[in-house]
Amino acid sequence: MNNATNSLHGKVVLVTGGARGLGLEIVRQLAAQGAHVIVGARDKARADAVVSELHGEGAAGTALELDVTCEDDRAAAYFAIEKAHGKLDVLINNAGILLDSVNGGTPAARQPSIAFPSVVRETFEANFFAPVFLTQTLLPLIRKSEAGRIVNVSSIRGSLAHLSDPTSPVYPIRALGYDTSKAALNAFTILIAEELRGTPIKVNAIHPGWLRTAMGGEQADMGVEDGARMALHYASLDADGPTGGFFFLDQRLPW
Ligand SMILES: NC(=O)c1ccc[n+]([C@@H]2O[C@H](COP(=O)([O-])OP(=O)(O)OC[C@H]3O[C@@H](n4cnc5c(N)ncnc54)[C@H](OP(=O)(O)O)[C@@H]3O)[C@@H](O)[C@H]2O)c1
């Protein structure tokens, strides 16, 4: 993967959902590269434990209680980062939920016509409204970075092209809440990236792969290491790198 020459060493990076799954591996890889990682998690004790692990390895990190769906937590995140660092170099909107399916990776239990409204609403709160409003809240701090980067962890399941293509592997499963929330996140990625075009800030969405996590299930074909490497790549794009794109590895995915 090219265009990733902007070192993460010393960069201030917030990872949402950073205490388990893909987020935790992103945190570990960032710390290994010398970033100051802010581990955002709903469960502060879990974030504290991750930060203790980082400190034990001589890395820098801070724990932050952050339920991304909570407006007060998002505001508190702004003030905490402003006070400690005065800026934010990278925001990785990783936190996400999949409620349509009871056993991650298996077909959605209910077809779109009978999906539970509560599931669709709750999924949108976490997968769409939360990253949108967190980005809005933190953007003043990202503007203070010399090379701000925002990585939205989306999914190939948010690709309208794939959802409507009978030959796509994602076609047979219809997870109304998850799929539409990630499609909306993709649209946000385009809109905010275009608004910020001409500034140093780059915003991209990634599909991290089908990963062996609580969400992806044990039968997934990739490990979190691969997904995290992708997130770090788009977090460290140089000035010539893309913005407003949707990627898997270094390939553009169709919207
Ligand atoms: N796994 C896959 O195959 C796959 C494929 C494509 C895209 N993705 C995306 O990758 C991202 C990470 O998924 P994963 O596989 O690591 O899933 P996971 O193992 O289920 O972990 C989800 C993470 O999101 C956090 N989270 C959920 N709701 C939150 C909230 N309201 N506030 C703060 N944190 C919250 C969880 O924290 P708690 O510990 O507090 O629950 C956890 O850290 C998601 O955006 C997912 O949609 C995953």
Does the C-beta of 153 come closer than 6 Å to ligand 1? yes
Tokens matching residue 237: 């794009």
Q: How many CA within 13 A on the CB side of residue 154? A: 36
Q: Is residue 3 part of a domain?
A: no
Query: pLDDT tens, position by position, for the chain (255 residues)?
Result: 655 567 999 999 999 999 999 999 999 999 999 999 999 999 999 999 999 999 999 999 999 999 999 999 999 999 999 999 999 999 999 999 999 875 555 555 678 998 999 999 999 999 999 999 999 999 999 999 999 999 999 999 999 999 999 999 999 989 999 999 999 999 999 999 999 999 999 999 999 999 999 999 999 999 999 999 999 999 999 999 999 999 999 999 999
Please, is 89 exposed, middle or buried when counting C-beta atoms within 10 Å of its C-beta (0-12, 13-18, 19+)? buried
Show Cβ contacts of residue 65 under 8 Å, excluding neighbours closer than 6 positions: 41, 42, 44, 47, 73, 76
Q: Is residue 54 part of a domain?
A: yes
Does the C-beta of 181 come closer than 6 Å to ligand 1? no
CA of 73 to the centre of ligand 1 (A): 18
Q: Which domain holds residue 79?
A: 12-252
Does the C-beta of 122 come closer than 6 Å to ligand 1? no
Q: Is residue 100 part of a domain?
A: yes
CA of 96 to the centre of ligand 1 (A): 4
Q: Which amino acid is at 163?
A: L
Q: Please indicate, yes or no, whether the overall pTM of this predicted structure exceeds 0.85.
A: yes
Q: Is residue 7 part of a domain?
A: no
Q: How far apart are CA 167 and CA 181, in angstroms?
A: 22
Q: How far apart are CA 96 and CA 16, in angstroms?
A: 9
* Residues with a known catalytic role: 178
CATH number at residue 244: 3.40.50.720
CA of 147 to the centre of ligand 1 (A): 26
Among 15, 16, 22, name the best residue to mutate to test ligand 1's pocket (greatest count of ligand atoms within 8 A of Cβ): 22
Domain count, the chain: 1
Q: Is residue 6 part of a domain?
A: no
CA of 222 to the centre of ligand 1 (A): 15
Does the C-beta of 184 come closer than 6 Å to ligand 1? no
Q: Is residue 5 part of a domain?
A: no
Q: Is residue 65 part of a domain?
A: yes
CA angle centred on 154, ends 184 and 195, rounded to 5°: 55
Q: Which of 244, 125, 249, 123 is nearest to 186 (CA)?
A: 244
Q: Is residue 1 part of a domain?
A: no
